[in-house]
Every structure is written in structure tokens, then in C-alpha cells.
Chain A
Amino acid sequence: MSEILTISNLTITPKNALSRVLVNNVSLTLSAGKTTCIVGESGSGKSLTALSVMGLLSSQLQARGSIKFLGQELTSLDNKALQSIRGAKIGMIFQEPMTSLNPVLTVGYQIGEALTAHLGLKGAALKLKVASLLQQVGIPPARANSYPDELSGGQRQRVMIAMSIACEPALLIADEPTTALDVTVQAQILQLLDELKTRMNMAMLFITHDFGVVADIADDVIVMFRGEIVETGTKKEVLTKPKHPYTKALLACVPDAEGKKQLKPIDYAWLKDKKAAA
């Protein structure tokens, strides 16, 4: 099993308030062909962790630590060098496909941009590759001439996926890619991502707040709470035998489709006592 990405001791703080730690000492490893879900509530630092991998952190924030991608240290690269990796070896998908797509360009053109920039494809070869990508994500190739507003939310997210896998990345980062979608569409997109991951042997970093989604797509799970990783394990370990009190508490909040579970909100004061005792 080959390691694609290794984050060691990543700490993120605002530049003007270095004592406020947003992400604290996070370390993780992603392997080829595996989906790792980072799950946590808002403010847990899950998105910041993903953004720092892509070098897309806000200029107001400062990241310390090491991010090694295919043996290369990303934190020491300049923006130009990062650009040649982003969109080529690291693909990205975000939550809201409409805000990620340019409304005045056809989707075919937008998928083609990465191919031209990174692989130098042009003309008929480019057209052919775009058509094949659309087909791979389940959109009729004729839709290459459509504008984003002519597509449904699910189709737009498929276009985003086509863009992100265009250059056959080693790592795909998906930040809440199905949160804005209807449940039936969500199920389709999750299945598509899972198939692509397996077929292209990608490492996938999947950010979500939904344990149901975790159960569907994850191989490994990382639980974050207030900027720290509180638990790591395989999907089965974390979902069925959680060790950390926060993971247990978070799972107890999730309603199940069978309605058997007694919902229990998190008692933060109790968690704090527990932490102090430990």
C-alpha cells in the first residue's frame, strides 16, 4: 500500500492571534485506493486541514508543520509550483457546484482548461478527452456545450468531478461534495466517487459532517473536535466501537433511519471534565 499524502504536526493559527489555535498538531496519512473521511462539526478544523493541503489557506492564517505529497514537501513550494500540482496531481471538489463553476463558460470548456494547462491537450484530442470524461461521470458528451445553469445540481457536481479527475490525480480532496444535494442524487454521487477512486486507485480525502455518508464511503475515519484529531481508525472501528468520549457522544446525536435510537445531545461540560481527568 503506497502512501500518497502524509501530514505531520499541522498547526493552523490566525496570523494576528497566534495563541488561537484553529488546527492543533494534526497528523494523518492517506494511501492509494483508500477513502479517508474527516468528520466533525462546524469549527472542528476539518476544512482548514483540507485547504492547507492544497495551499489554499486564507492569507490571514498561518500553517506550521509538514505536508508531504508523493515524497515532496508542499509547505516549502511557492505558488507557481503548487499550481502545477493543484488540478493535476491533486483534484478538488467543493460543496456548492454552482459557485465553483464559471456561469459564462460551457462546461466542456471548463473541463478542458485543466487538460490544456497541465497536459497541453488541444483541438480534436482535447474534445475527445472531454467527451470521455463526461461519459465517465455519467453525463452525455453532447452536454459539453451546455452552460452550468442548464444543468441540475447533481449534474453540476458531476461536471466538477470530471474536472477534478481530468488529469488523473493521485489524490482527490472532496469537501462536503454532497451536502447541497438531494438524498437520491447524493447516493448516486457517492457511488460515482467510490467507483472512480477504485478504478483510478486514488487516495480520497473526504470531508463530511454526516455519519451516514461516512458509513457509505469511508475506509478510514478521522474524527476532529475543536481543531484536534480525537480518534482515528477503520470505519468499522470508529462507527461500531468508538473509543473517545466525543466520538461516542457525537454518534449518539445522529438519528437513525429505524428510529430505534434515543437521541442524546452532547454534554460539553461533561466532555471537558473527562478531558481534565485524563
Chain B
Amino acid sequence: MSQENLKQVILQAKNLVKTYTQRSGRFGFGSTKIKALNDVSISLKAGSTLAVVGESGSGKSTLARCLLQLHPFDSGEVLFQGQDLAKLSGQALRDVRKHLQMVFQDPFASLNPRMKVGEIVGEGLLIHGLGSADEQKEKVHQMLKRVGLEVADAQKYPHQFSGGQRQRIGIARALVLEPKVVVCDEPVSALDVSVQAQILLLLKALQREMNLSYIFISHDLRVVRHIADEVVVMHQGSIVEQGAVKDIYNAPQQAYTQQLLSAIPGRKAA
């Protein structure tokens, strides 16, 4: 992480607005609009980790999906290396998507149970037509080793692995394309604390080696303190406060942030 590198913004969201329409009233004849994202702007610096924290319904996962163009949004723009993603389609969008990958929360639900691990990890290479079959296989094996699995694991199915190992598979799948930005949506929430520590350290090590930039979605402020450089606090679809992790944790300016931080379990006793 060089100084210049840090200054460069790799992914940026400008004034994102996303509304959901929900049926309401008697028999659902009425409808209410819910603002899932209300004028949200963030910027992720290359090689760094930006955490998005908030409680359920705060819009943090919606933001993650909008950043990757997995959800359409009403207005605003998402810029990857200065390029407006909404204006891309077809092959151009596919080319960019290679650089934007995601790691999901539930390692049980996000891996296809009928595919072998090798196929899951290698699917991206296949879709993007990167290298010959042998090269792809070699790459998958390298990646599996890198995330702490074994080459022989490529022949196994997801159900043969523990939760932590499955999350390693999910990480290998995301990183095999050598992306620039990885959006991690609650990647350690479903894991035991000892496994959580392993995965956090793995993510940190991979970030250094591959010069990755992370968007890290989480509700756990203790985890965020350990992984993030900057943090965005969301509440009911809006950004309440954002800044360097140290500043936000040591001197939160907004009442909501203060409330969140004081609710961290174990703080009173410490």
C-alpha cells in the first residue's frame, strides 16, 4: 500500500437512490414507498477497506448489490475507475465485472451443491474465457492452496466442508479472476469466533498480496474495527456519518453512531 496508491479512488457511488414499493393497507391494495438508499455517496480508495455498518434495514446490503449492478437503482451513479457502470452493457459490462467480485454471508446457501469445488471456483475463468483448460485448472489449484484448502478439495462437493472452509471456497471463487474490488457482505457473521479470526486474517493477507480493495458490509462493530480503514455508518437508508475508523470509534459525532458504539457488547465491562 503505497501513499499514491491510497489516494486513488477505485470505486465511487454518487447520490444513489433506491426505492422499494411495498404493499400495505388492507389486503395489500395500497402501497408505500420505502427508501432503501437515500442519496448515498461513498468512495473506496485503492488497496483499502471501506466498511459499511448499520442495523437490519439500514440499506447496507442494498448498497452492496447496487454497487455491483446486481440491483437496478433509481438515480445516481456508480463509477469504477472513473467509468459509469450504468452506461455499460453486454460485453463491456462483463469485462468490468471481472474486476468486481462478491463474497457472500451464508457459505451454505451461496455455493451450488451440485457442483464440485473445482467447478465452482473455476466457473468465472470459464465464463470469461481466461486461458486454456489446463491453465484454468492450474489457476484453480493455486487459488485453493492460497486460501488454505488442498488441491484434492477441487474434486469434492460443498457439503463435505465446514462453514469456515466453505467461506474459503467462496473467497477463492471471488479472487480467482484477480479482481480489483471485492464486496464482502457479512462474510464472517455465520462463523464461529475462532473461524472468524482465521477468515479475517486471510482476507487481510490476500488484500496485501493482491492489492485488493474491499467494501466490507457488517453489523459487527468489533469486526469492522479490525479490518477497515474507513467506515460508513448507515441508518434507515441514509449515511449518518463517515470517516477514518479511528476517528469514528474514538470520537463519534452523531447521536446514532454513539448509540451504536455504546451498544457493543462487553464495552461497559472493559
**In whole Å, how far is B149's beta carbon from the nearest beta carbon of chain A?**
15
Q: Are B192 and A214 in contact (CB under 8 A)?
A: no
Q: Which of B18-26, B93-101, B219-227 contacts A (4 or more CB under 8 A)?
A: B219-227
B269 within 8 A of A: yes
Q: Are A216 and B201 in contact (CB under 8 A)?
A: no
Chain B residues near A185 (CB, 8 Å)?
55
- Assembly CA distance A190 to B268 (angstroms): 13
Q: Are A183 and B265 in contact (CB under 8 A)?
A: yes
**In whole Å, how far is A157's beta carbon from the nearest beta carbon of chain B?**
14
Chain B residues near A186 (CB, 8 Å)?
263, 265
Residue of B nearest to A43 (CB): B192
B152 within 8 A of A: no
0/1 string, A181-192, CB within 8 A of B gives 1: 011111100100
Cβ-defined partner of B192 (8 Å) among A41, A153, A182, A264: A41
Chain A residues near B194 (CB, 8 Å)?
41, 249-250, 253, 265-266
Chain A residues near B193 (CB, 8 Å)?
41, 209-211, 250, 253-254
Q: Which of A14-22, A52-60, A166-174, A255-263 contacts B (4 or more CB under 8 A)?
A: A255-263
Q: Are A183 and B223 in contact (CB under 8 A)?
A: no
- In chain B, residues 203-226, which have Cβ atoms closer than 8 Å to a Cβ of chain A? 219-223, 225-226
A215 within 8 A of B: yes
Q: Are B225 and A255 in contact (CB under 8 A)?
A: yes
Q: Known A183-B221, A254-B222, A257-B222; judge A263-B266 contact (CB<8 A).
A: no
0/1 string, A238-278, CB within 8 A of B gives 1: 01000000000110111111110101111000000000000
Q: Are B55 and A182 in contact (CB under 8 A)?
A: yes
Cβ-defined partner of B268 (8 Å) among A42, A210, A216, A255: A216
Tally the A-B contacts, defined by beta carbons under 8 Å: 102
Q: How many residues of A contact B (CB 8 A)?
A: 35
Q: Are B265 and A213 in contact (CB under 8 A)?
A: yes
**In whole Å, how far is A30's beta carbon from the nearest beta carbon of chain B?**
21
Q: Among the interface residues B196, B220, B263, B265, which one has the most CB atoms of the partner chain A within 10 A?
A: B265
- Assembly CA distance A216 to B262 (angstroms): 12
A65 within 8 A of B: no
- Assembly CA distance A235 to B223 (angstroms): 23
Q: Are B260 and A184 in contact (CB under 8 A)?
A: yes
Q: Are A259 and B197 in contact (CB under 8 A)?
A: no
Cβ-defined partner of A190 (8 Å) among B195, B198, B265: B265
Q: Among the interface residues B197, B260, B268, which one has the most CB atoms of the partner chain A within 10 A?
A: B197
Residue of A nearest to B196 (CB): A253
Q: Are B201 and A215 in contact (CB under 8 A)?
A: no
Q: How many residues of B contact A (CB 8 A)?
A: 32
- Assembly CA distance A250 to B28 (angstroms): 49
Residue of A nearest to B268 (CB): A216
**In whole Å, how far is B249's beta carbon from the nearest beta carbon of chain A?**
7
**In whole Å, how far is B198's beta carbon from the nearest beta carbon of chain A?**
4
DSSP class of A's interface residues: helix, strand, loop or mixed?
helix
0/1 string, A210-226, CB within 8 A of B gives 1: 11111110000000000
Q: Are A256 and B270 in contact (CB under 8 A)?
A: yes
Q: Among the interface residues A212, A253, A255, A266, which one has the most CB atoms of the partner chain B within 10 A?
A: A255
- Assembly CA distance A48 to B120 (angstroms): 35
B85 within 8 A of A: no
- Assembly CA distance A199 to B56 (angstroms): 32
Chain A residues near B266 (CB, 8 Å)?
211-216, 257
Q: Are B223 and A255 in contact (CB under 8 A)?
A: yes
Q: Known A263-B200, A263-B201; judge A257-B225 contact (CB<8 A).
A: yes
B114 within 8 A of A: no
Q: Are B261 and A257 in contact (CB under 8 A)?
A: yes
Chain A residues near B196 (CB, 8 Å)?
253, 255
28 cross-chain CB contacts under 8 A: A41-B192, A41-B193, A182-B55, A182-B56, A182-B219, A183-B260, A184-B55, A186-B263, A209-B193, A212-B266, A215-B266, A215-B269, A249-B194, A252-B197, A253-B197, A255-B197, A255-B226, A256-B222, A257-B261, A257-B266, A257-B267, A258-B225, A259-B226, A259-B249, A261-B226, A264-B197, A265-B195, A265-B198
Interface residue ranges, B against A (CB under 8 Å): 55-56, 192-198, 200-201, 219-223, 225-226, 245, 249, 259-270
Name 15 extra pairs, CB < 8 A, besides A184-B260, A253-B193.
A182-B55, A183-B263, A183-B264, A185-B55, A187-B263, A210-B193, A212-B267, A215-B268, A216-B269, A250-B194, A255-B200, A256-B270, A259-B225, A261-B226, A266-B194
Interface residue ranges, A against B (CB under 8 Å): 41-42, 153, 182-187, 190, 209-216, 235, 239, 249-250, 252-259, 261, 263-266
For the complex of A and B, 6 pairs with smallest distance between CB atoms? A212-B266, A212-B265, A215-B266, A215-B269, A182-B55, A253-B197
